[in-house]
Structure 1
Amino acid sequence: MKIENAVALVTGANRGIGLAFARELLNRGARKVYAAARDPASVTLPGVQALKLDVTKPDEVASAVAQAGDVTLLINNAGIAQPGGLLADDSEEVARRIFETNFFSVLRMSKAFAPILKDNGGGALLNVLSVASWVNGGELAAYSASKSAAWSLTNALRNELLTQKTQVLGLHMAYVDTDLTRGFDVPKSSPEKIVQRALDGLEAGLDEVLADELTMLVKNGMTAPTPTYLHPMG
């Protein structure tokens, strides 16, 4: 898919990777960028159209569909995380909350906008996933589990949307320098670099982008005699 003249909607576009997506889409000549956020006043990037959207609320998703019927590219970026393992006292509550945003809301948005993408020629759907889709060291256990589910969802959507010629791309990366990883003392990629590689892959017609070296190492090691997913990421 070509970005020039595309009409994109980016969820969680007020900061981090979402903001970087919105900025780079404009740089590449997108005709319109809907920058969706719970609080549209938090969207301050010039040139975008702020859109009030809490992806966990079906009524706000329906409102977004009504306002953005010209979308040709949907980027499901909004996501949340919380440190902790699955044996913690509150793990079920935490997992439900994280899955609501990271899995069910991606499903909700994809279902809602699939007919619009079809009507507008097919377009593309880009889901922001993670290297945590494949490895779970326990420090972000529910987040990792939700990204595994979102990866499977992305693969299913790719097959279901094939007949309407909608490109579906899964973006995987390790640590990115955003609010989500604040406090993690690890090497981090810039949001801008991750987004550039993602959009390069989208324009090249790829199904999957591995946006940094660690992610490529983990993916390549999944079929090793001792596969990477059996051990914490390091």
Structure 2
Amino acid sequence: MAKIKISKENFHSPDDVDFIIKLAAVGSTLFFLIGLGLSATLYSDDIGVENNDWSIGVCLLVISLLILTYLFFSKKTPLTTKWAGATIVVFFSASYLFTNSVISPYIFTPLSWQLKLTGLVIGIGSNIWWMLYAAKNIHKIFYDPELRATLFKEEDNIFVYKNGIHQTIIENKLKRHYFPHPMLWIILIPLQPFSFFIHKIIINSSGLSVFSIFLSAISLPLSLMFNGLIVSLILIYFYYPSILKKTTGKEVHVI
């Protein structure tokens, strides 16, 4: 098997990682603020329902910024861990925005309990299913010797993971979807402008319920995507490298 030529230029420099952490702080703050804005104003202002959903977002934002602050100033944390942690924090903030949009309408809007239960089962159930699907894909790669050797290239004293190679393996080798099926996007995304049109027509009789249902629907593909990415990256950056470290004594480095 061909060896990767390893040099200092292959790896992320401290300056690169610091920039990624700063970018992650800005990106995650924006995602959380948008989500907080929806939580704090959408339901209480439009339908008069007071809720504390926004407080969850505040807590998650503070925790995320504390993690990024620690990664930025920590001298002992490996650069690979810093890079991975910052990436996951950004995806987590995006997950909060879209997953909250999927679930919250069925908690705070004045819908029947049957519709609320249906929406929650679909929203939560589909996300759990997709996260398990993503985990299964990485599991298949790791426990197939040939695919694992492609995912984690073994060098003399380390393993090397090239960012994004797992997507190529999943799509080209496993012939499975890395992102939610395109048909889901084709069906749901065009509903966004239509939802505003419907909202204006029947707002007097249904309050915000119809708009919230459509908001939940168009957020579902993005919710699935980011939650799947989080699971995949946690497994690739942390879980399976820890197994390789334990069994071979070699660490995984990201290039």
TM-score between the two structures when normalised by the length of structure 1: 0.30
Question: Relative contact order, CA 8 A, sep 6+: which one is greater?
Answer: 2
TM-score between the two structures when normalised by the length of structure 2: 0.28
Higher fraction of helix: 2
